[in-house]
Structure 1
Amino acid sequence: MARNLYGPGVRMGNWNEDVYLEEELMKDFLEKRDKGELLIQKNRRMKNLLLQPVPLSVAQDGCVHFGDRVMLVSPHHAEPRAERFLPGDLSLCLAPDEIRARLTDRFELPCGLSAAPTRAPVRRNAFAVLGVDREAVGDVLRFGQNFRLGITLGCEDRMLYLSSDHRTLLRSSRLSSLQEVYLTEEDSYLNCWQAAFPDPQLRLEWEGHPVPANTRILINHSHTNRGLAVHRHLFSRSYFGKEAEVAAHTHLDTHRVEMPRNHWMLVTGSPRGAASTMLDVPRPPVERGPAPEPGPELDTPGPQ
């Protein structure tokens, strides 16, 4: 019985072209691998850069100073009008575009921001408190004083500033269509922010006082007078997973008081070696809440 003895191994005609094509593809793959140009290598370098641990500054006097490296954390709060939201403490993080991040290991500016459920200080969520006028490094940051928040991109030594501007038809937040918040290299008045006391009845009294660290405050944009807010019910699929949207908008309740969406904390490092930030330090019982009332079984006298 006759058998077909021809196949790719005979290196004839189209079969020979297929063998050459496979060899060229393998050669191109090995060349890109040696140069570090594969997509998986680019993604790995970006993740290693943004997830590199960064030590935070320790507030010895309990206040925030110019030059400190802090985390911007939105304390946990529920969204009563939403069935699904992102719980826990959310930190403000650099969020590069997912498609562009998978194609290159460089950042496209302006770069987006998001709120991620991470409590570890890494390069993508560690911000430096910078002065605007002639504030010296080490001076105390005060309520109502302009300041900048910058983040450094590793060995590139590039400072990106937290910025915002009025929303337009061409520029707004992607999910809520509110005022966009982004990171840019441009040094302008759009980078200026101010800290405000959460209680509006005591806001004027706290004007000019030092900003305490690890305490709830408001962060308002100096140019547009909009508060930095996190929308826990609006999810975005970022390069690092499921995160919440961040925008510049002042959310007021029926009493004209800022809602918890606008509450932030400038979290500093912990002086204890076992904890990296003050979020990991257990709070005293007085700050956790009122002590539970004794039950009926505690009121009855025991046997004599």
Structure 2
Amino acid sequence: MARKNYRTCVRMGNWNEDIFLEEEMMKDFLEKRDKGQLLIQRNRILIANLLKQTKLSITEDGFIHYGDKVLVINPDCEDPHGGQVVFGRLALSVTPEEMKAHISNDIEVPCEVTAMPGVSPIGRNTFIILSLDGNALGEPIRYGQNFGLATTAGFDDKMLYLGSDHKTMMKSAKKSWLQDVYLTDEFTYLTFWQATYFDPQLRIEYEGFPVPANTKIVIKHCHTNQALAANRKYSLRPAISSRS
């Protein structure tokens, strides 16, 4: 008569190694959790910073100054030729790449920017106006004068600069294939911008005058002489929504 030489509680195979492996995996998980290094934790940190409420600068003389915190708004408009799919006021906003946004708690450069419907000041859409030499803090910006646009994206130890360059076969804006606009950590001539009077027939007359706050202007890129614009014929779904 055959007899069983083991019971159901007997462990088979490399059970000892499997136990040690599970313990090491759990230990590694707990260590990363305590340090905030889990992917879900890193992603939450990034989202919290981008959606952090911010305060804009308040003008006392009616003009925009170097060092002011502002929103760059593309006002609502209709294309007489049709084909428009995005309506309403749009704010220039930081838009991290989808894959990187889900695995990192930081913003990697170059980083994309888009125009988004949310116009409440938060980390992702608040920009700081910079003087090129750093000595004009508090002075009003004038038409025809170069300046920089930077954002902290809600972080305390970060400064990213809005830049652009001529489009190439390898580098251009998504869908529209126009000149790309991005954020970089280098403050160079590619990140210099200039305010131009909105009415082209009066631009020469207003050259050198202070730029009023809350008024329509044209922001031109110094290196390419192209105006900052939002193409409303195309829409993209951001990895991190302003309603996250």
Decide whether aligned partners of structure 1 residues 165 and 6 sit closer, same or farther in structure 2, where only a CA change above 3 A counts. farther
Distance 1:84 1:204 in 2: 32
Amino acid at match of 1:99: M
8 Å Cα contact 2:163/2:190 also seen in 1: yes
**3-state SS of the aligned residue for 1:228?**
coil
**3-state SS of the aligned residue for 2:121?**
coil
1:35: Cα distance to partner?
A: 2.3
Distance 2:148 2:175 in 1: 26
1:158: Cα distance to partner?
A: 2.8
Amino acid at match of 1:184: T
Amino acid at match of 1:118: G
Partner residue in 2 for 1:301: none
Partner residue in 2 for 1:252: none
1:236-266, Cα deviation, whole Å (9 max, x unpaired): 2222249xxxxxxxxxxxxxxxxxxxxxxxx
**3-state SS of the aligned residue for 2:203?**
coil
Matches within 5 A, 1:238-277: 238-241=238-241
Distance 1:200 1:85 in 2: 27
**3-state SS of the aligned residue for 1:59?**
coil
Partner residue in 2 for 1:108: 108
Amino acid at match of 1:53: Q
Amino acid at match of 1:127: F
Distance 1:32 1:183 in 2: 30
Distance 2:45 2:218 in 1: 35
**3-state SS of the aligned residue for 1:119?**
coil
Decide whether aligned partners of structure 1 residues 33 and 133 sit closer, same or farther in structure 2, where only a CA change above 3 A counts. closer
Distance 2:210 2:224 in 1: 23
Amino acid at match of 1:105: N
Partner residue in 2 for 1:71: 71
8 Å Cα contact 1:63/1:140 also seen in 2: yes
1:135: Cα distance to partner?
A: 4.7
Distance 1:178 1:62 in 2: 34
Amino acid at match of 1:215: T
Decide whether aligned partners of structure 1 residues 39 and 134 sit closer, same or farther in structure 2, where only a CA change above 3 A counts. closer
Distance 2:7 2:59 in 1: 78
8 Å Cα contact 1:151/1:160 also seen in 2: yes
1:15-36, Cα deviation, whole Å (9 max, x unpaired): 7776666555444333322221
Decide whether aligned partners of structure 1 residues 236 and 196 sit closer, same or farther in structure 2, where only a CA change above 3 A counts. same
Amino acid at match of 1:235: S
1:118: Cα distance to partner?
A: 0.8
Distance 1:92 1:10 in 2: 64
1:174: Cα distance to partner?
A: 2.1
1:73: Cα distance to partner?
A: 0.7
Amino acid at match of 1:140: P
Partner residue in 2 for 1:245: none
Distance 1:205 1:228 in 2: 22
Give TM-score, length-normalised by structure 1: 0.71
Amino acid at match of 1:50: L
8 Å Cα contact 1:11/1:19 also seen in 2: no
1:133-191, Cα deviation, whole Å (9 max, x unpaired): 46521111111111111112555523211111111222211221111111112121111
Let me know the Cα RMSD of the aligned residues: 2.5
1:89: Cα distance to partner?
A: 1.0
8 Å Cα contact 1:196/1:218 also seen in 2: yes
Distance 2:74 2:115 in 1: 8
Distance 2:189 2:142 in 1: 18
1:16-63, Cα deviation, whole Å (9 max, x unpaired): 776666555444333322221211100100111111111110011211
Partner residue in 2 for 1:209: 209
Decide whether aligned partners of structure 1 residues 167 and 83 sit closer, same or farther in structure 2, where only a CA change above 3 A counts. closer
Matches within 5 A, 1:93-132: 93-132=93-132
**3-state SS of the aligned residue for 2:223?**
coil
Distance 1:237 1:6 in 2: 58
Unaligned 5+ runs, structure 1:
243-304
1:10: Cα distance to partner?
A: 4.5
Partner residue in 2 for 1:181: 181
